[in-house]
């Protein structure tokens, strides 16, 4: 049985691609901004990447348990996108203050590493947690079954395609022709458009069904899959 492509789902594919585009613009801009504050050494870059990926992990795990069908997932997703845009602007305007604080309190050795981690966490944890929560929020719109699970793959693929477009747009145009502020405004504008469109789509989307929690036995069966995926990510980012 094939998954029908409803107009609402087609719109969500486009919106999730735009969300991925904005996310990669932010990632490139934030990395460049924070490198001006904490430096571009291997330790600094590792701290940046660990904070970014860790925030997405925390968001996906935490919000996946909090968001249910009765929360109107599309409206939750709209709020998440609006929050990402607000955080992006906050990082842009708040980083000069953090720069002065870091310059005054930065140290060497372990103290310096912890200070860098604190700066990265203060800037990146909230927006990256919201990014990690975006797919779980959309997933609550459908009752996941062998028939419906293909929707998640399509959403993830659209988001990845948008991320590719965002990295190309930021690296080859926005940061070459304009500056990091304009790139941030573009990403925040994308988030705002996605939030408004998702909120409008929530009025036409069907009310999702409540999904029964996964039984303990089923959760234990898929645990090796989670471990394998985690090891795959470790190898990919550690290479």
pLDDT value at residue 36: 79
Query: Alpha-carbon distance 6 to 142, whole Å?
Result: 13
Total length of the chain: 239
Q: Which residues of 99-125 are buried (b: 16+ CB within 10 A; e: fewer)?
A: beebeeeeeeeeebbebbbbbbbebbb
Higher pLDDT, 229 or 130: 130
Torsion of CA 157, 159, 161, 163, to 10 degrees: -140
| pLDDT tier, 208 (very low <50, low <70, confident <90, very high otherwise) | low
For 25-65, the pLDDT digits (tens) are 999 999 888 887 777 777 777 878 888 888 998 998 887 77
pLDDT value at residue 2: 47
Nearest to 57 by CA among 226, 236, 235, 239: 226
User: Mean per-residue pLDDT for 83-96?
Assistant: 92
Higher pLDDT, 130 or 224: 130
pLDDT value at residue 219: 54
Of 134-138, 186-190, 193-197, 234-238, which range is least confident?
Answer: 234-238
Q: What is the pTM of this model?
A: 0.83
| pLDDT tier, 106 (very low <50, low <70, confident <90, very high otherwise) | low
For 144-197, the pLDDT digits (tens) are 655 667 778 888 899 999 999 999 999 999 999 999 999 999 999 999 999 999
DSSP letters spanning 40-98: SSHHHHHHHHHHHHHHHHHHHHHHHHH--GGG-HHHHHHHHHHHHHHHHHHHHHHHHHH
Tokens describing residue 191: 């988030």
Tokens describing residue 178: 């304009």
Higher pLDDT, 224 or 3: 224
| pLDDT tier, 80 (very low <50, low <70, confident <90, very high otherwise) | very high
Architecture of domain 7-209: Up-down Bundle (1.20)
User: Mean per-residue pLDDT for 125-145?
Assistant: 84
pLDDT at 109 exceeding the cut of 70: no
> Where in the chain are the domains?
7-209
| pLDDT tier, 70 (very low <50, low <70, confident <90, very high otherwise) | low
pLDDT value at residue 204: 75
pLDDT value at residue 177: 93
Higher pLDDT, 53 or 115: 53
């Amino acid at each position: 049985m094939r998954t029908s492509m409803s107009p609402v789902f087609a719109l969500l594919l486009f919106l999730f691609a735009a969300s991925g585009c904005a996310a990669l613009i932010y990632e490139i801009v934030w990395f460049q901004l924070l490198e001006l504050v904490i430096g571009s050494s291997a330790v600094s870059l590792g701290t940046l990447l660990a904070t970014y990926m860790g925030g997405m992990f925390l968001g996906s795990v935490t919000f996946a348990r909090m968001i249910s069908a009765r929360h109107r997932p599309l409206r939750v997703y709209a709020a998440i996108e609006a929050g990402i845009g607000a955080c992006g602007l906050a990082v842009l305007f708040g980083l000069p203050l953090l720069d002065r604080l870091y310059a005054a309190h930065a140290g060497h050795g372990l103290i310096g590493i912890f200070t860098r981690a604190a700066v990265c966490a203060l800037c990146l944890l909230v927006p990256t947690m919201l990014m990690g929560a975006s797919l779980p929020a959309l997933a609550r719109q459908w009752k996941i079954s062998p028939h419906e699970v293909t929707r998640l793959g399509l959403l993830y693929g659209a988001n990845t395609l948008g991320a590719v477009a965002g990295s190309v747009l930021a690296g080859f145009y926005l940061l070459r022709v304009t500056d990091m502020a304009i790139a941030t405004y573009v990403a925040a504008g994308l988030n705002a458009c996605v939030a408004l469109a998702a909120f409008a789509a929530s009025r036409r989307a069907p009310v999702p069904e409540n999904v029964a929690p996964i039984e303990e036995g089923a959760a234990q069966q898929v645990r090796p899959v989670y471990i394998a995926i985690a090891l795959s990510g470790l190898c990919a980012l550690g290479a």
